[in-house]
Amino acid sequence: MTHELGGRFVVALGLDGVTDKAGLMDRCARALDLPDWFGRNWDALVDCLADHTVWPEGAVERGLLIVVHGWRPYAEARPEEWATAREVFAEAADRTPSLTVALALGGSSEHRSDQHG
């Protein structure tokens, strides 16, 4: 889903229910409307995130903010994969100054109730 915030395009990347790399790649492909040539691997994800031609119209001029939420269960289940995913997000943002990837704190409602209950 795409929104605007302070003129920037905002894409929510929800990872609720993701348990492996394949699930992460599927969510990225859907949320970011990645092209058919997306190879569903780490290198291809960096390339797509850094490729302005796959961004929503106007996002290059305004900037793109990807907000990743619901990531904690995946990070706990697959810490090595999650570390690689964070590196991929960071590399894409380093390559493309108009891209920001933010990890939203919090988790599913189940995770929050465990903390407060």
Predicted TM-score of the model (pTM): 0.83
- Segment 55-87, tens digit of pLDDT: 988 788 899 999 999 999 999 999 999 999 999
Query: What sign results for the dihedral spanned by CA atoms 92, 16, 29, 99?
Result: negative
Q: Can you point out the beta strands (E) in the chain?
A: 2-5, 8-14, 64-69, 99-103
Do residues 52 and 61 make contact, with C-beta atoms less than 8 angstroms apart? no
Q: Taking 60 as the threshold, does the pLDDT of residue 108 lie above it?
A: no
Question: Within a 13 Å sphere around the CA of 44, how many CA atoms are in the beta-carbon half?
Answer: 14
> What span, in angstroms and rounded, lies between the C-alpha atoms of 9 and 6?
8
- Segment 11-61, tens digit of pLDDT: 999 999 999 999 999 999 999 999 999 999 999 999 999 999 999 887 888
Residue boundaries of the structural domains of the chain: 2-116
Out of 3.40.605.10, 3.40.50.300, 3.30.370.10, 3.30.565.10, select the CATH number for domain 2-116.
3.30.370.10
92, two tokens: 């894409």
